[in-house]
A and B are shown apart, each in its own frame.
Chain A
């Protein structure tokens, strides 16, 4: 009830920065290109360049690095597991032994390399979601998907964007609802903590069923409300927030593209 009161939707932190004002389509494409490049890179130099780029971007965006790291925290454990896996399973020149586990020089280098790759991947997506509001993201995705229509691939761009918006809008509401249902069932003696795995899964039924019913009920009512407001799909719709590519967007993208090409070819 209360813990969701101050949770904002998504990771977005509002600041008045150059990066924040960029067109979301540019940012989405940039993030995508960065991700692709990060996968293609095979040198530490490449990582360094991309890392520097992201570091500069985030500095310009005026977002507190603490918040950036907080965003990465949940995924930190994947990075560590990957590192450890490579550390202990790569064959080569052994430099350290921990009981039966051997750490090799190759393992260390490889592990760090792949961990850095993961770190940069997560950083690129964080960069996107920290500086782009959910509305801007969905608008951007919708506009990009609309391009497919031009080349005759029928992707329901508007419908996808609408679904994303509604989902984002209802996440906090449904979370509150879940909390209420859990408390109500605990008040009736429900126990989610003890017993075998099977029992614990079964004990979720009194939460999942009411939640689903609640969600469907909401969807029903929302559909009627939308119809009453003349919703009839994407045909003929205009956008409250128009997106336009400005000179600054073009320059930013140009610079980013050059950088990426440099990294790929050197």
Chain B
């Protein structure tokens, strides 16, 4: 599935007194099997972008093509889009409403026309993806759970639709480090094992740097950077700092050392890489 945004703009409250252009001339292609991270400040337009991607919003200008077809020219195509592009909003546990976890997770696929044994399979598969034991959890109330469990149920309810593309808006917002790491591991697993295309939005550069193969940086409604983490951390650290985005502590430190004239590679992303690079330089001395 190939998603193509061509010159897409979006204005809220069009033609009304408080009209605001939130996205300006966005050009973006998302290819099958990619893991994309989107980062930017509150208000940069990232949430609007996500809603355009799954057809919840229609662009004020420009086109959104999925596999070459303009999704807003055909109402049926739009419904199709929701089957193939799953969107999990921030704090997705706020959408829970069913009596049992099974029913909650089944809500999405049921709306898409899946019934009977297929439905049960979808729910089972989704629960496995988020590490929730089917037999233990299926009859429980989705409200009688810990924060982390509720978050996983909510994410499973999107996964159960079995979309090709999964969009996650701040999936680890407000979680404690342990639960956060668990969910990130699950996302990594889903990506590897089920070959999904994943778009992950976060404020947290460390999370994005760890998971994404391609980082898109947004600022004031535009895409300002679109590259691999390594390239961005090698060449664009100053731009990031100008926008006011924090880079991982380690990367920032390595850059400062380089600026001081030390012969060090600044594009490290992980602890291991940093350790190895520093040891290498010291041994040389």
A and B touch in the complex (CB under 8 A): yes
Q: Which of B79, B94, B110 contacts A184 (CB 8 A)?
A: B94
Asked if A210 contacts B95 (CB within 8 A), the reply is: yes
- Report the Cα distance A92→B22, complex, angstroms: 60
- Quick check: is A6 within 8 A (CB to CB) of the other chain? yes
Asked if A189 contacts B82 (CB within 8 A), the reply is: yes
Query: Considering only CB atoms, which chain A residue lies closest to B99 in the complex?
Result: A209
On chain B, the residues within 8 Å of A186 by CB distance are 56, 82
- Quick check: is B112 within 8 A (CB to CB) of the other chain? yes
Asked if B97 contacts A209 (CB within 8 A), the reply is: yes
- Quick check: is B12 within 8 A (CB to CB) of the other chain? yes
Asked if A189 contacts B97 (CB within 8 A), the reply is: no
Asked if B95 contacts A185 (CB within 8 A), the reply is: yes
Q: Which of B17, B96, B158 contacts A187 (CB 8 A)?
A: B158
Asked if B97 contacts A205 (CB within 8 A), the reply is: yes
Nearest-Cβ distance from residue B221 to partner chain A, whole angstroms = 13
Q: Which of A181, A183, A185 contacts B51 (CB 8 A)?
A: A183
- Quick check: is A191 within 8 A (CB to CB) of the other chain? yes
- Report the Cα distance A181→B82, complex, angstroms: 16
Interface size class of A (residues with CB under 8 A): 20 to 34
List which A168-209 residues lie within 8 A (CB) of chain B.
177, 180-181, 183-191, 205-206, 209
Asked if A183 contacts B108 (CB within 8 A), the reply is: no
Asked if B96 contacts A189 (CB within 8 A), the reply is: no
Asked if B18 contacts A6 (CB within 8 A), the reply is: yes
- Report the Cα distance A257→B125, complex, angstroms: 74
Nearest-Cβ distance from residue B85 to partner chain A, whole angstroms = 9
- Report the Cα distance A6→B19, complex, angstroms: 10
Asked if B56 contacts A183 (CB within 8 A), the reply is: yes
- Quick check: is A45 within 8 A (CB to CB) of the other chain? no
Q: A180-B89, A187-B82 are in contact. Are A5 and B97 (CB under 8 A)?
A: no
Asked if B95 contacts A206 (CB within 8 A), the reply is: yes
- Report the Cα distance A209→B97, complex, angstroms: 6
- Quick check: is B92 within 8 A (CB to CB) of the other chain? yes
List which B154-208 residues lie within 8 A (CB) of chain A.
157-158, 161
- Quick check: is B213 within 8 A (CB to CB) of the other chain? no
- Quick check: is B60 within 8 A (CB to CB) of the other chain? no
On chain A, the residues within 8 Å of B15 by CB distance are none
- Report the Cα distance A205→B158, complex, angstroms: 18
Q: A3-B12, A6-B18, A187-B86 are in contact. Are A177 and B111 (CB under 8 A)?
A: no
- Quick check: is A109 within 8 A (CB to CB) of the other chain? no
Query: Considering only CB atoms, which chain B residue lies closest to A186 in the complex?
Result: B56
- Report the Cα distance A180→B91, complex, angstroms: 10
- Quick check: is B54 within 8 A (CB to CB) of the other chain? yes
- Quick check: is A151 within 8 A (CB to CB) of the other chain? no
On chain A, the residues within 8 Å of B92 by CB distance are 184
Asked if B94 contacts A187 (CB within 8 A), the reply is: no
- Report the Cα distance A260→B54, complex, angstroms: 60
Measured CB to CB, the residues of A under 8 A from B are 1-3, 5-6, 177, 180-181, 183-191, 205-206, 209-210, 213-214
Known: A183-B56, A184-B92, A184-B95. 5 other contacts (CB 8 A): A186-B82, A188-B161, A189-B112, A189-B161, A213-B96
The 7 closest A-B pairs by CB, nearest first: A189-B111, A209-B97, A188-B108, A6-B18, A2-B12, A184-B95, A187-B87
24 A-B interface contacts by CB (under 8 A): A2-B22, A3-B13, A6-B13, A6-B17, A6-B18, A177-B94, A180-B94, A181-B95, A183-B51, A183-B56, A183-B89, A184-B89, A184-B95, A185-B95, A187-B54, A187-B86, A187-B158, A188-B108, A190-B111, A191-B111, A210-B95, A210-B97, A213-B96, A213-B97
